[in-house]
Amino acid sequence: MGGTRDFLPEAMLRREYVIHTLKQIFGKYGFLPLETPTIERWETLAGKYGEEGEKLIYHVVSSGSLEELQPGKRTDLALRYDLTVPLARVVGMYGDKMVPDPANPKRQIRLLPRPFKRYQIQPVWRGDRPGAGRYREFYQCDADVVGSDSLLVEAELIALKVEAFKALGFADFTVKINHRQLLAGLIAWAGIPAAQEATVLSSIDKLDKLPAQKVKAELTGKGLDAGQIDALFGVIELEGSGLGLLAAAGERLAGSAAAGEGIGDLKKLLGYLDRFSVDPAHYRIDLSLARGLDYYTGTIFETVTSAQVGSVGAGGRYDKLIHTLSGGRADQPACGISFGLDRIYAAMEELGLLTQVTGSTQVLVLNFSDPGIEEVTFNLVRELRTGGIRTELGYNEENFTPNGMRAQLGYANEKQVAYAVIVGPDELAGGVALLRDLATRKQERLPLAEVAGELTRRLGP
Amino acid sequence: MGGTRDFLPEAMLRREYVIHTLKQIFGKYGFLPLETPTIERWETLAGKYGEEGEKLIYHVVSSGSLEELQPGKRTDLALRYDLTVPLARVVGMYGDKMVPDPANPKRQIRLLPRPFKRYQIQPVWRGDRPGAGRYREFYQCDADVVGSDSLLVEAELIALKVEAFKALGFADFTVKINHRQLLAGLIAWAGIPAAQEATVLSSIDKLDKLPAQKVKAELTGKGLDAGQIDALFGVIELEGSGLGLLAAAGERLAGSAAAGEGIGDLKKLLGYLDRFSVDPAHYRIDLSLARGLDYYTGTIFETVTSAQVGSVGAGGRYDKLIHTLSGGRADQPACGISFGLDRIYAAMEELGLLTQVTGSTQVLVLNFSDPGIEEVTFNLVRELRTGGIRTELGYNEENFTPNGMRAQLGYANEKQVAYAVIVGPDELAGGVALLRDLATRKQERLPLAEVAGELTRRLGP
């Protein structure tokens, strides 16, 4: 069906490799998994995604209740649209809940530690009539810290991002960093009314796809004059990097308290990144980074790679959003990052980083229906599996024929198995096995007693 | 919302432990992962689950299309109801598809190897108004082999089940095994018309919950006479085990070809299980096992443990079902098992098998806002993470106070962290760190240079 996908085994193995890698790193940084239900109350999602977004929410109704439906009227239940609203709901519902400490039941501890560091990797749904490369169902992957306004949060999220992209095999990637208050200060300093901030940011956000001239034309179309545009671009096109760039921006924007706060945060953040020894080749201050979404209040990030797939992740600080999204039930500062899984797979595909990823069967032991041979081959399969080798025994209950052997080897090829082990009557009599490398088609002869040990050495975990 | 669940981190860590264990074992037996979309066409699901089941299917409609809805009329899209219909759809869509062999592009190979050995672990939805312990959304976990009628499939699935329950820590569990043709033969031999087979099996299926007397009364109510009931129970209550039990049943049912086939299969299966050295304490022939579902055609299985949660998994051979469910697009024999994840968690909880499962942060390094101390603690965090230790740095940007220290230790308690590392001004001056065991509250003093190494030794992967 358009906009949905079956993930067949080969694709799944690659997806699971990426997700497993991310989970390991999330865990190392103290982030723990959360899952929320697919179906949320309509009320929880209503009014959270803007007018356009709201049209894309999928409603859900059971067959038994179809008759209660009124044309054009909404239902009570809806599919998860993102992972941020459910996070806010969870914080609102459980954020103040206390439970007995298992180590000391007389004492109460929070059910959700504060700060709450969670990651969430689940599908979300959009009721789109999707075009190419757009899906009704896709996975989101977010890591957020709720309940701390420390800039250490930002530093750790960037360190985590850098470690994750390295672990996935990317050599050339950058986390771009900017700050909403710096941008707000800049916009005010350029003489642009605060009411135009959102629309100006959404234009600046296009600078990674459009030439500066087009963005300037768009800003002119939005009513900015040449002086305002020059003032804006005079700052976002400042040359330099790191503390030097921040100092230059600080000089220009000396009169702006907001910009000063943003610059102060970014300086502190650079200091933390340095303390964590994050490789400076993989992050940089980018004063033209804007992130169109209007809920960011502090630092903003975006990750790009050398692949032509666009941004592979983004994030930032959103200190007011939990309050809004939880319907006022919780009010906590927060900061998070997302990994764009589909674009990460596309980038890895483009850069050839997925060719070595497999989790397919490693050894197929050919199955001759002969009691003497079976005694050897069944044991071999069991030994290999005990050694952690992904092993299959060919399915063949007929008397073994050359044709049956070809069918089993064909299956091994289809499944991209590394080795076939052949113990036929001649091999059994000689106390040996043939090891066939299915990629090179080379065969070698090994004493039967050594087969399991040798394959476990070559292929083992 | 009733019937849906948030899985908070502690629950998620336990769920992920179980699922990860199962995935490892699936892989060792050559099963590969498959995922199918949440949203299927209504046509794919229609007519597949019986009248009662069909009422529970959730329909899906986007907000933008609500106005097209007619009261009482179904929609075009629906939520996945189980994992078997999607499997049949996938086999029907891709089962005959050929693709170039990556190792030799001149040759074509099947996109889905045959037999197709896949596992699938995804949520399914039921539009129920759920009672206690019943959910609108729950995970299913199925492993199936499509495309082989070999009894090796059954043997491997049972071996896999036994390995999985052992790996999860169950000591006392049994895979009960029976055969649909044996039961069909028995029913005919007892003089019961074939038309009553399904209803008789559904009564027999209750024998693990109801006393035999009640089941007999139910069968009487369904029109069976005393002679028929006696004939049935004379076989299903036969004493003995393994080949002896099968021989006794074979003698009784000597005239029935169907029963003979079933018994022949079970004998062969026992032989394979023996060849694979599956521990005979963990499987047994149970002639009273019936499995109510009417799509099984051969062997049937069910797994029980010593916990009071009922069956924790089931399965069997269903050689006609792919044909039916794929709308005739594929016709392949198949056999599968399921793991009842919610009941497995409940059983493990009851038996205390989950108490040691954790993936929470292992070390919290306390954060003193002092440049000299930061130089040590930030490095320590980085070293520990490099060694694979799940490590956090306390969030504290204020000057360090006793109160800030208490807050960080409180957080460590809430998160059930194993160790806190304290390097305050005195420790820094002495070149040492305090290691605080947060369960016992005992502290020890270690030279700073040894902290990362020692903790990695104690806690490392």
**CA gap A120, A35 in Å, rounded:** 6
A134 is in an annotated binding site: no
Q: How confident is the model at residue B292 (pLDDT cuts 50, 70, 90)?
A: confident
Q: How confident is the model at residue A68 (pLDDT cuts 50, 70, 90)?
A: low
Residues A94 and A116 in one domain: yes
**CA gap B439, A310 in Å, rounded:** 47
- Is A223 at the interface with chain B, CB within 8 A? no
Q: How confident is the model at residue B103 (pLDDT cuts 50, 70, 90)?
A: confident
Which of these ranges, A53-67, B44-58, B281-295, B381-395, has the smallest mean pLDDT? A53-67
- Predicted confidence at residue B345, as pLDDT, reads 96
Return the higher-pLDDT residue of B147 and A104.
B147
Residues A324 and A378 in one domain: no
With a cut of 90, say whether residue B127 has pLDDT above it.
no
With a cut of 90, say whether residue B457 has pLDDT above it.
yes
- A323-380 pLDDT, tens digit per residue, is 999 989 999 999 999 999 999 999 999 999 998 778 899 999 999 888 899 999 999 9
Q: Which of residues 441-460 of A touch B (CB under 8 A)?
A: none
Which of these ranges, A42-56, A305-319, B206-220, has the smallest mean pLDDT? A42-56
Where does B126-212 show beta strands of DSSP type E? 137-146, 173-179
What's the CATH code of the domain at A396? 3.40.50.800
Q: Which of A350, A371, A402 is the last residue of a domain?
A: A350
Q: How confident is the model at residue A129 (pLDDT cuts 50, 70, 90)?
A: confident
Residues of A in contact with B439 (CB under 8 A): 103
Whether B1 maps to a domain, the answer reads no
With a CB cutoff of 8 Å and minimum separation 6, the contacts of A38 are A79, A80, A122, A123, B4, B38, B79, B123, B125, B137
Angle in degrees, CA A302, A307, A310, rounded to 5: 40
With a cut of 70, say whether residue B69 has pLDDT above it.
no
Residues A342 and A368 in one domain: no
With a CB cutoff of 8 Å and minimum separation 6, the contacts of A197 are A183, A184, A187
With a cut of 60, say whether residue A399 has pLDDT above it.
no
- Predicted confidence at residue A133, as pLDDT, reads 72
* H helix and E strand count, chain A: 17, 18
B69, B272, B397, best to mutate vs chain A, most A CBs in 10 Å? B69
With a cut of 90, say whether residue B173 has pLDDT above it.
yes
With a cut of 90, say whether residue A128 has pLDDT above it.
no
- Predicted confidence at residue A356, as pLDDT, reads 78
Query: A378 near B275, Cβ under 8 Å?
Result: yes
Residues A373 and A233 in one domain: no
Annotated binding site of B for L-histidine: 82-84, 126, 140, 144, 291, 295-296
Whether A67 maps to a domain, the answer reads no
Whether A110 maps to a domain, the answer reads yes
Q: How confident is the model at residue B73 (pLDDT cuts 50, 70, 90)?
A: low
- Predicted confidence at residue A71, as pLDDT, reads 64
- Predicted confidence at residue B75, as pLDDT, reads 73
- Predicted confidence at residue B195, as pLDDT, reads 93
Average pLDDT, chain B: 92
- B32-51 pLDDT, tens digit per residue, is 999 999 999 999 999 899 88
- Is B440 at the interface with chain A, CB within 8 A? no
Q: How confident is the model at residue A174 (pLDDT cuts 50, 70, 90)?
A: very high
Nearest to B33 among A13, A65, A67 (CB): A13
Query: B215 near B233, Cβ under 8 Å?
Result: no
Range of the domain at B269: 9-350
What is the percentage of chain A residues whose pLDDT exceeds 70? 96
One-character DSSP codes across A388-415: T--EEE----SPP-HHHHHHHHHHHHHT
- Predicted confidence at residue A377, as pLDDT, reads 96
Residues B401-419, mean pLDDT to the nearest whole number: 87
Residues of A in contact with B16 (CB under 8 A): 33
- B141-154 pLDDT, tens digit per residue, is 999 999 999 999 99
- Predicted confidence at residue A102, as pLDDT, reads 80
With a cut of 80, say whether residue A266 has pLDDT above it.
yes
Return the higher-pLDDT residue of B104 and A71.
B104
Q: Which of residues 232-251 of B touch A (CB under 8 A)?
A: none
Angle in degrees, CA A298, B372, A29, rounded to 5: 50
- Predicted confidence at residue B214, as pLDDT, reads 96
With a cut of 60, say whether residue A287 has pLDDT above it.
yes
Interface contact flag, A385 B29, Cβ < 8 Å: yes
- Predicted confidence at residue B267, as pLDDT, reads 98
Q: How confident is the model at residue A165 (pLDDT cuts 50, 70, 90)?
A: very high
**CA gap B64, A54 in Å, rounded:** 9
With a cut of 60, say whether residue B399 has pLDDT above it.
no
With a cut of 70, say whether residue A212 has pLDDT above it.
yes
Burial class of residue B76, CB neighbours in 10 A (0-12, 13-18, 19+): middle
Taking CA atoms, what residue in B is nearest to A81?
A: B62
Q: What is the CA radius of gyration of chain B?
A: 29
- What values do phi and psi take at B410, rounded to 5? -60, -40
Query: A181 near A379, Cβ under 8 Å?
Result: no
Interface contact flag, B66 A66, Cβ < 8 Å: no
Whether B2 maps to a domain, the answer reads no
Whether B358 maps to a domain, the answer reads no
With a cut of 90, say whether residue B102 has pLDDT above it.
no
Query: A433 near A427, Cβ under 8 Å?
Result: yes
Which of these ranges, A25-39, A290-304, B182-196, has the smallest mean pLDDT? A290-304
Residues B371 and B316 in one domain: no
- Predicted confidence at residue A62, as pLDDT, reads 78
With a cut of 80, say whether residue A72 has pLDDT above it.
no
Whether B63 maps to a domain, the answer reads yes
Residues B305 and B371 in one domain: no
Q: Which of B326, B350, B374 is the last residue of a domain?
A: B350
With a CB cutoff of 8 Å and minimum separation 6, the contacts of A146 are A87, A91, A95, A114, A115, A116, A118, A322, A332, A333, A334
Interface contact flag, B90 A396, Cβ < 8 Å: no
- Tell me how close the Cα of A211 comes to any Cα of chain B, in angstroms: 35
Residues B73 and B103 in one domain: yes
Q: How confident is the model at residue A223 (pLDDT cuts 50, 70, 90)?
A: very high
- Is B134 at the interface with chain A, CB within 8 A? no
Interface contact flag, A69 B71, Cβ < 8 Å: yes
- Predicted confidence at residue B70, as pLDDT, reads 66
Residues A367 and A346 in one domain: no
Cis peptide before B333 (omega within 30 of 0): no
- CA distances to A410, A437, A451 from A442, rounded to whole Å, are 16, 5, 16
- Predicted confidence at residue A112, as pLDDT, reads 95
Residues A327 and A417 in one domain: no
- B15-33 pLDDT, tens digit per residue, is 999 999 999 999 999 999 9
Whether B4 maps to a domain, the answer reads no
The encoded tokens of residue B64 equal 């933008």
What's the CATH code of the domain at A221? 3.30.930.10
- A49-67 pLDDT, tens digit per residue, is 988 888 899 988 877 676 6
With a cut of 70, say whether residue A279 has pLDDT above it.
yes
Half-sphere exposure of A399 (CA within 13 A, CB side): 1
> DSSP character for B400?
P
- Predicted confidence at residue A3, as pLDDT, reads 82
Whether B357 maps to a domain, the answer reads no
With a CB cutoff of 8 Å and minimum separation 6, the contacts of B432 are B445, B446, B447, B448
Q: Which of A350, A384, A419 is the last residue of a domain?
A: A350
Taking CA atoms, what residue in A is nearest to B13?
A: A33
Nearest to B63 among A59, A374, A438 (CB): A59
- B212-266 pLDDT, tens digit per residue, is 999 999 999 999 999 999 999 999 999 999 999 999 999 999 999 999 999 999 9
* Reported ipTM: 0.94
Q: What is the CA radius of gyration of chain A?
A: 29
Residues A157 and A219 in one domain: yes
Annotated binding site of B: 82-84, 126, 140, 144, 291, 295-296
- Predicted confidence at residue B356, as pLDDT, reads 78
Query: B178 near B299, Cβ under 8 Å?
Result: yes
With a cut of 90, say whether residue B82 has pLDDT above it.
yes
A60, A75, A276, A396, best to mutate vs chain B, most B CBs in 10 Å? A60
Residues A345 and A367 in one domain: no
Nearest to B62 among A118, A127, A393 (CB): A127
Q: Which residue(s) pair with B174 in the sheet? A: B304
User: What is the domain count for chain B?
Assistant: 2
**CA gap B194, B189 in Å, rounded:** 10
- Predicted confidence at residue B317, as pLDDT, reads 97
- Predicted confidence at residue B279, as pLDDT, reads 97
- Predicted confidence at residue A297, as pLDDT, reads 95
Residues of A in contact with B367 (CB under 8 A): 152
Residues B136 and B222 in one domain: yes
- A14-42 pLDDT, tens digit per residue, is 999 999 999 999 999 999 999 999 999 99
Return the higher-pLDDT residue of A145 and B74.
A145
